[in-house]
Amino acid sequence: MSQKAASSTVPITVTEIEEIAKTRLPKNVYDYYACGADEQKALARNSYMFDRLLITPRVMIDVSHVDTSTTVFGKRYPFPVAFAPSAMQRLCHPRGELEAAEAAASTGLSMTLSSQSTTSLEDVADACNISNRDGPDFWFQLYLTQDPKYSRKLIKRAETAGYTALVLTVDTPILGNRINERKTPLVLPEGMQLGNYAPPKQGIKGPATERVYLNAHTVDEANEIIKKAGPTMHSSSLTWQHTIPWLRKVTSMKIILKGIMTAEDAKLAVEHGADAIVVSNHGGRQLDLVPATIEVLPAIADAVAGRIPVIFDGGIRRGSDVFKAIALGADLVLIGRPVLWGLSYDGKKGVEAVTNILERELSRTMTLAGVRNIKEITKDSLGLAKRDGFGIAKL
């Protein structure tokens, strides 16, 4: 095969990497990662609304040197992207979270490890020596469970291992109605288990129990499942008055709230002492018919007014998407599914390919838009395509 022919098989966009991943993953695994809730309108809207945002380039500006770097929590990022928490990554690659973490470390980015990882938080921390690295810190995501003692143990383990922030998911009192996942149920293969939970023989059922809960036909059946599940079912009792104060007593890690979708909740997060928020609709996997995250970002950023970092999650597939999120007020952007597609494509190298693609696309977008650094990316860089399909409106 000629060099020219061989090079044509190398993916050059994140979408192409996803297409390869789809051919390699079992259908139930791909459906688990790719699906949204109910009719998947929120999932689609996350992408659609990016396309309605148009970049308004400025010319005759010296863009011979473009700086994509940024700083969050005092740590320098080569470009404003970090890895979102994504569960059970060994379904995508035999080394799963270890490969993703090593890719984050090699590219100078931050990774948030899911509490529902298939590799223990300690093994990931040891693999990347997270307590003694120069780049951005690693963070740990948590669903508070119905048993505070159980949650406390996980938090203490994460802090001891060297994670510096606790990313508390606040939009999941129960799982969303993920129809595709229900039609092709996901079961962990023989020999694979959740790395941060006790094995099933010790009585911990893990998050798979909640998927069984979705299929309950009656209220009594659902209640019986909850009763058997023990402490690992998601807590539906989080409150502004009690949850953050309790976490402050338990840990000295930074507290980041993931799942903020309104300016009102953003203000409450600041008032109750959150160190940062993540604007997220859980990738369209929880409540359908909600706005796209990019739609609510400007109002949330205005409400926060620079008091804490605003992190954005949802629908990022191109460097131009990163540009748009920064323009509307994000300090940092998370990628979730693209990391999974990269793992499926080529492990650590596949994830590095995803980040390299996004960084190059962001740099090119900034250059062509007449923007020299991240601080120069503002609302003035964008317009909104009018609904009749012709012309743009200022934001």
Show pLDDT as tens, one digit a residue, over the chain (395 residues).
333 433 457 899 999 999 999 999 999 999 999 988 888 888 889 999 999 999 999 999 999 999 999 999 999 999 999 999 999 999 999 999 999 999 999 999 999 999 999 999 999 999 999 988 888 999 999 999 878 888 999 999 999 999 999 999 998 877 777 877 777 777 788 888 888 875 543 433 444 444 444 454 555 554 555 555 555 567 778 899 999 999 999 999 999 999 999 999 999 999 999 999 999 998 878 788 999 999 999 999 999 999 999 999 999 999 999 999 999 999 999 999 999 999 999 999 999 999 999 999 999 999 999 999 999 999 999 998 887 767 788 77
Q: Which two tokens stand for residue 198?
A: 């006790």
User: Residue 161 is inside which H or E element, if any?
Assistant: helix 148-161
Extract the annotated binding site: 32, 85-87, 114, 141, 143, 169, 178, 258, 280, 282, 285, 313-317, 336-337
CB 279 within 8 A of CB 311: yes
List all residues 6 or more positions away from 362 whose beta carbon is below 8 Å from its beta carbon: 68, 79, 319, 320, 322, 323
Give the Cβ contact number of residue 39 at 10 Å.
12
* Dist CA 155 CA 158 (whole Å): 5
Amino acid at 170: V
73 part of a folded domain: yes
Distances (CA, A) of 179 to 37, 41, 175, 176, 333: 7, 13, 11, 9, 28
**Cα angle 289-338-354, degrees, rounded to a multiple of 5:** 150
Beta sheet of 139-142, edge-to-edge order: 81-83, 332-335, 310-313, 276-279, 254-260, 165-169, 139-142, 112-113
Write the CATH number for 370: 3.20.20.70
For residue 98, the enclosing domain spans 3-177+235-382
Per-residue pLDDT, 208: 47
Q: Give the active site residues.
A: 282
Residue 228 belongs to a domain = no
Please enumerate, by residue number, every residue annotated as part of a binding site for FMN. 85-87, 114, 141, 169, 258, 280, 313-317, 336-337
- What contacts 142, CB < 8 A, 6 or more positions away? 115, 151, 154, 155, 158, 166, 167, 168, 169
**Structural domain includes residue 188:** no
Residue 203 located in a structural domain = no
Asked if the structure places residue 199 within a domain, the reply is no
Does residue 211 lie in a domain region? no
Beta bridge partners of 49: none
Query: Known binding site for glyoxylate: residues?
Result: 32, 143, 178, 282, 285
Q: Which two tokens stand for residue 325?
A: 């999120």
220 found inside a domain: no
Is the residue at 183 inside a domain? no
Please give the tally of structural domains in the chain.
1
Give the chain's length. 395
Whether 297 contacts 312, CB under 8 Å: yes
Query: Cα dist. 92→42, 337, 348 in Å?
Result: 24, 11, 11
Is residue 172 within 8 A of residue 144, CB to CB? The reply is no
Between the two ends of the chain, the Cα-to-Cα distance in Å is 50
What tokens were used for 391? 């012309």
